[in-house]
Structure 1
Amino acid sequence: MTRVLVVDDDPVQLRLTAEVANHAGFRPITATGGEQALAILRDDRNIGAMILDLVMPDVDGMGVLDAMRREGLTTPVIIQTSNASLETVVSAMRNGAADYFVKPVAPERLIVSLRNVMKLDALEATIRAERARRTGTFTSADMVARAPAMARVLSLCSKAARTPIPVLIEGETGVGKELVARIIQGTSDRAGKPFITVNCGAIPPNLVESVLFGHKKGAFTGAVADQAGKFAEAHNGTLFLDEVGELPHEMQVKLLRAIQEGEIEPIGAARPERVNVRLISATNRRLLNLAKSGEFREDLYYRLNVFPIYVPPLRERMEDMPALVSLFVARFAAEAGKRVLGASPAALNLLMAYDWPGNIRQLQNVVYRAVVLADGAFLEPMDFPQIVAQANGREVARLAVETAIQPAAPMHIDMAPARPRQFEDVVPAQDRFLDANGDIAALAEIERAAIVFAIEHHGGRMSRVARALKIGRSTLYRKLHEYGLAQDLIHDAAA
């Protein structure tokens, strides 16, 4: 569920705006001041949008927008304030606000604005990523990789970018190995230089040498002119050999020599040519197993596998699913000219329950088909019949399509009724200031509970606990003894 940050120093307005976002299918996060809002944005770059009040006691809305611009925080912002002056509107828009409302605003208008700015943000992210890919400046910020399983991949990419050593990227088909290679190039000293991709499995065996190393005019029948190979095209840049395990055995010897000597010999050339190329290879098969079976030269394997990176499959990084779906929906809806704003919670649950053998490439194709065929503003489970069929059986998929509610007449998106939501029975939490009998708790009990919460929140790091509670460490330890908590901490440390 997409999170929306609501910032307002008025508690009533804060609660009302948060409820509007909640009823629209978003998950609201609240802040009562500009400093708190900036702290939340710095800690979490995955917040979908922010509804920001302009007039606040600590840091006002304009100050928040200025800080966001300086720090590169790209969360889309909707301004909501009681000041209706034209000068204020123009200043907010120039500072990066995506929309502007004067209180009070109709809930329906606010919901439409939220959906529009999120779609616009996804489109801008797609355009930025495509521009970075074309210019050779692609970085980790341009890739959806917020899942914990991708943290090690991005860390290794950062380390690999600092050196020119060969990198071997392993992973299943469709996990995004080429994007990982582009991150390495885009954050290295070769950023902006040529990035040449070669799919070794798609080249006919008799043309592999010519494609990689080039040929001279008259070298063989049909060679009517000199042709530079991929190594020469990637001079001073990066050469990405995709599916390198598919290379013919006889070509592996020549590739090994090109890597070791830093020179190539085009077909029909009188002398070798020097090339300066950063080599990154990728495979969806274990090269070590191929080397053991004799299908791949063992010496070439060790030459390529200097710096290995394993990219996990999509089923191990489901935390990225909502962001990936939003990105693909925005992109394909724009391409197809459809007013599709996203996927419903039920559709997201369906996609996250599937194991995706084809990984991100399969997800991209499935979302593309769903967007093209969708009739509503949001993708529903019935828009993914193939996934429903594979997950629950074909009969369930057929019934889902047949029982889908169809509007009797065309309906404008702004007039579309809210989707029915399944609300779970939630047991209200006991107020932290009341005891079991409903009476106001003693001050000592409230203070003890606050200390216990702070210790758990900061993992027992007492310096941070003391700073958070705005007390000295000696005072903290005295209160631990006073409330009988010191002995428990000793036991936990011993365990």
Structure 2
Amino acid sequence: MDAAVTTSTDHPEWTLGFLNGRSAVMQRLFSQMRSTATHLRIATLEGESGTGKTAAARTLHALGPAAGHAFLPCPATQFFEQLPAIIREARDGTLLLTHIEALSSPQQMRLIEFLQWLDHQHARHLPDSAPRQVFFSSSVPVRRLVSSATLRIDLANRLTVIRFLIPPLRERREDIPLLATELAQGFGATQGRIIRGLHPQTLARLLAHRWPDNIRELETVIHAAALSCQGQWIRPIDIPPLGPDPLPGTESATSAANPQATHRPTAGADEDPNLDHAIQRHVHRVLERAEGNKLRAARMLGISRSTLYRLLDAEEAAHEEA
């Protein structure tokens, strides 16, 4: 069996710090991070739960002026409970305050005061007494928090001078083969085994899923599959049952901002649930997007052209048997 995907080892441009991605949206994110990292002092990372905001913050830290010093993530709601100790630990390094969407009104006021103190320290040229960089992360877009009166607009203005939007996995599906293969190889290495990659039908199954919990869900699935895998390739039987997909328009960020939103029925909910047929439908949708160009379709799917031909041949054989 040929490898289902080329890894980032063969394409260093697909990796930046703690992030991997060949998709256009990730390459744009990489470009933004490279061009801003060296002069960042305050920035906010927005993205749904599980998209990799902390990994993105670690990457910015590694590329920026605080590299080599502490990187300290802390839930924003707990920051003020242990402020002096956190400031000491993050001194001259990077502080990441997560889940700012959970801050109460009094906590938001205290955060504004902290940012004013930070400005004062830098104005007095005393950066060694404070974190050199402070990053924030939110699972809900900051503008949505402001429009729903969840976040003070004066605080939002301070936090969003520079924003990094971390895309959900469903908007970067072409990265799934790369991410899944590298996760599988990494989990195999921790077990002292060689896992080369994913069976083509396994890959097609992953591509057909919406991944409501994003990369965190993919990591869990591939970890379980690596434990079940008996050979060097992860088969469909190794993949644990995938959780239910979210209904259209009810991604985690939307639900967090508006928990009483009305759910609509899933389009195509009465489609044939057979896995092989779902794989075939997905492959044909990609072929349509590629205007029938099989090489282009294979690249969009993140598989080799020979793997695509095998999937199409398997479909043709199934029709002949029927």
**Take 1:394 and 1:335, find their aligned partners in 2: how far apart are those partners?**
38
Residues 26-175 of structure 1 correspond to what in structure 2 (within 5 A)?
26=3, 47=6, 75=10, 140-175=16-51
Aligned to 1:193: 69
Quickly say closer, same or farther: Cα 1:392–1:327, change in 2 above 3 A.
farther
**Take 2:243 and 2:139, find their aligned partners in 1: how far apart are those partners?**
27
Q: Which AA in structure 2 matches 1:210?
A: E
**8 A contact 2:211–2:218 mirrored in 1:** yes
Post-superposition Cα deviations, 1:285-327, rounded to whole Å, max 9, x if no partner, equal 1222222333222211111111011111111112211111111
Q: Which AA in structure 2 matches 1:150?
A: M
Residues 39-438 of structure 1 correspond to what in structure 2 (within 5 A)?
47=6, 75=10, 140-200=16-76, 203=78, 208-211=79-82, 213-214=83-84, 228=85, 230-262=86-118, 274-387=129-242, 422=310, 424=312
Q: Secondary structure at the match of 2:72?
A: strand
**Take 1:388 and 1:305, find their aligned partners in 2: how far apart are those partners?**
34
Q: Which AA in structure 1 matches 2:111?
A: L
**8 A contact 2:66–2:132 mirrored in 1:** no
Post-superposition Cα deviations, 1:87-139, rounded to whole Å, max 9, x if no partner, equal xxxxxxxxxxxxxxxxxxxxxxxxxxxxxxxxxxxxxx9xxxxxxxxxxxxx8
Q: Which AA in structure 2 matches 1:341?
A: R
Q: Which AA in structure 2 matches 1:287?
A: V
Q: Secondary structure at the match of 1:376?
A: coil
Identity, % of aligned pairs? 28
**Take 1:140 and 1:151, find their aligned partners in 2: how far apart are those partners?**
9
Aligned to 2:2: 25
CA-CA distance at 1:334 after TM superposition: 2.3
Note the aligned Cα RMSD (angstroms). 3.3
Post-superposition Cα deviations, 1:25-53, rounded to whole Å, max 9, x if no partner, equal 248xxxxxxxxxxxxxxxxxx9559xxxx
CA-CA distance at 1:284 after TM superposition: 0.5
Aligned to 1:60: none
Give 1 or 2 for the bigger CA radius of gyration: 1
CA-CA distance at 1:75 after TM superposition: 4.0
**Take 1:75 and 1:295, find their aligned partners in 2: how far apart are those partners?**
45
**Take 2:236 and 2:243, find their aligned partners in 1: how far apart are those partners?**
7
Q: Which ranges of structure 1 fall in alignment gaps of 5 or more residues? A: 1-23, 28-45, 50-73, 77-124, 126-138, 215-227, 265-272, 398-418, 426-495
Q: Secondary structure at the match of 2:241?
A: helix
CA-CA distance at 1:374 after TM superposition: 2.3
**Take 1:255 and 1:389, find their aligned partners in 2: how far apart are those partners?**
38
Q: Secondary structure at the match of 1:239?
A: strand
Q: Secondary structure at the match of 2:136?
A: strand
- Aligned length, in residue pairs: 249
CA-CA distance at 1:355 after TM superposition: 1.1
Post-superposition Cα deviations, 1:356-392, rounded to whole Å, max 9, x if no partner, equal 1111110000011111122333111122241398699
**8 A contact 2:97–2:136 mirrored in 1:** yes
Quickly say closer, same or farther: Cα 1:48–1:374, change in 2 above 3 A.
closer
**Take 1:387 and 1:259, find their aligned partners in 2: how far apart are those partners?**
43
**8 A contact 2:187–2:223 mirrored in 1:** yes
**8 A contact 2:202–2:234 mirrored in 1:** yes
**Take 1:369 and 1:322, find their aligned partners in 2: how far apart are those partners?**
17
Q: Which ranges of structure 2 fall in alignment gaps of 5 or more residues? A: 121-127, 246-268, 276-306, 314-322
Post-superposition Cα deviations, 1:161-192, rounded to whole Å, max 9, x if no partner, equal 13233111111111111121122111112211
Q: TM-score w.r.t. structure 1 length?
A: 0.45
Residues 437-452 of structure 1 correspond to what in structure 2 (within 5 A)?
none
**8 A contact 2:225–2:240 mirrored in 1:** no
CA-CA distance at 1:348 after TM superposition: 0.5
Q: TM-score w.r.t. structure 2 length?
A: 0.68
**Take 1:319 and 1:312, find their aligned partners in 2: how far apart are those partners?**
13
CA-CA distance at 1:263 after TM superposition: 7.5
Q: Secondary structure at the match of 1:309?
A: strand
